[in-house]
Chains A and B, each alone.
Chain A
Amino acid sequence: MNRLEPLRSAIEEVLDKVDGVVALRNVSGHVAPHLFKDREELDELAVSPKYPLPGTLHLIQTAHPEAQLAIVCRGCEERGLIELAKRNQVNLDNVTIIGLACTAEEAEECRCAKPYPSVLVDSHVGERTEPVADRLAEGLRQKDVAERLEFWRKQFDRCIKCYGCRNACPQCFCPECTLEEGLWVDKGEVPPAYPTFHLIRAMHTAGKCVGCRECELACPANIPLTTLYAVIREEVKDLFGYEPGVDLEDRPPLVLTMEVES
């Protein structure tokens, strides 16, 4: 099913009510995020490939806190927005969400647990497809500790420390990154030392990672990062009953203290 035309009409509907719409634009084959302000620009509207638009929204809102914006949102981007809103990185009061469902192929490629938005929006462009189980994560569970170490050492040995995973991550918004400090991860060491670089990042995604797979798509070495983050997400759910991006009201466990019994 072609999603471009329905998406275009959905954007046209809200375009007059907001200052701009954050979506993807295709300029002679190069797809990049763009703030659409005029109808004419919509000729260049693009649906795919996937790009982490919540991060773009965060940038625009930081510069223009009062702007009324709309954003095209896939299932993972909606989850990302929810987590960013909880951490005061985006203000959802000023944002109109235009939902977009992923195709079955996209869901399969991302091993996505929920390839459509449903929390912040009631409807979306495109048809809902079935969630996909993460077989790689299941495979990791079945390995024993020694096999896991061998597996990850082999994967992380390819790392060129380009910080692509961090830069693409919609949840990585810190102005200063602990991975660059030099205090925990030595500078100028490639591949970066195991386990510091990769596990510090993995720890920082705990309770935040929404499984959008942007890190993995960005990685030039094809390290299956989301496999590790997926099992961490399951462990966070198991330990604290918290799932990132599911509910606007749930508070993330790692920024909270335990409730005092009275």
Chain B
Amino acid sequence: MPEPRIVAYACTYCSYPGADLAGISRIKYSPNVNIIRVLCSGRVSAELILRTLREGADGVLVLGCHYGDCHFINGNHRTAKRVAILERVLEYAGIEPERLRLEWVSASEGERFAQVVDEFTETIRQLPPMKQVLA
């Protein structure tokens, strides 16, 4: 079984510094994750998530600011609604909704970032590789 490949979209104001803090604090977390910095979790469109899965990512993690902390005031509200629907769309289209997860990670939550990534990697490990699913 090949190692799962996970793409994490981390917002530049909260979650990316959170990931940075995890690194600075020397917290170990799963190396399966590829972090991509986005200006806001609200920028992570359904198109982006679907294309990421199409390109063979086994899981997509969307990381944004907690409610009320969004730099753009309500960008994360949009993400929350979008991801909630997309999870159900994926489910009906035959793609495990567990492959997509939305989490709020603030800049001070390095430990939480590591925990989220580790948990998500374990979840994805239980699923067949996306390349095999879409073959």
Chain A residues with a Cβ under 8 A of chain B: 140, 145-153, 178, 183-184, 193-196, 198-200, 202-204, 206-207, 228, 231-232, 235-236, 239-240, 253-254, 257-258
What is the bound-complex CA distance between A56 and B50, given in angstroms? 32
Residues of B within 8 A of A195 (CB): 50, 53-54, 90, 93, 95, 134
What is the bound-complex CA distance between A204 and B90, given in angstroms? 13
Q: How many chain-B residues does the 8 Å CB contact rule pick out? A: 28
Say yes or no for B88: interface residue by CB 8 A criterion: yes
Select A196's contact among B47, B86, B94, B133, beta carbons within 8 Å: B47
Say yes or no for B51: interface residue by CB 8 A criterion: yes
Contact between chains at B51 and A203 (CB < 8 Å): no
What is the bound-complex CA distance between A203 and B88, given in angstroms? 10
Residues of B within 8 A of A240 (CB): 81
Select A184's contact among B51, B78, B95, beta carbons within 8 Å: B51
Contact between chains at B81 and A253 (CB < 8 Å): yes
Contact between chains at B92 and A231 (CB < 8 Å): yes
Select B85's contact among A145, A194, A196, A239, beta carbons within 8 Å: A239
Say yes or no for B89: interface residue by CB 8 A criterion: yes
Most buried by B among A183, A194, A254: A194
Say yes or no for B91: interface residue by CB 8 A criterion: yes
State how many angstroms separate the Cβ of A253 from the closest Cβ of chain B: 6
Contact between chains at B88 and A196 (CB < 8 Å): no
On whether A196 and B51 interact (CB within 8 A), knowing A203-B46, A203-B85, A206-B85, the answer reads yes
Q: Is the interface of B mostly helix, strand, loop or mixed?
A: helix
Interface string of B69-85 (1 = CB under 8 A from A): 00000100110111011
Q: Is the interface of A mostly helix, strand, loop or mixed?
A: helix
Contact between chains at B77 and A153 (CB < 8 Å): no
User: What are 16 inter-chain pairs, A to B, with CB distance below 8 A?
Assistant: A140-B92, A145-B95, A149-B94, A150-B94, A195-B53, A195-B93, A195-B134, A198-B93, A199-B46, A203-B46, A228-B92, A232-B92, A235-B92, A240-B81, A257-B74, A257-B78
Say yes or no for B96: interface residue by CB 8 A criterion: yes
On whether A235 and B85 interact (CB within 8 A), knowing A178-B47, A184-B47, A203-B46, the answer reads yes
Contact between chains at A199 and B94 (CB < 8 Å): no
Most buried by A among B51, B53, B74: B51
Contact between chains at A203 and B77 (CB < 8 Å): no
State how many angstroms separate the Cβ of B119 from the closest Cβ of chain A: 21
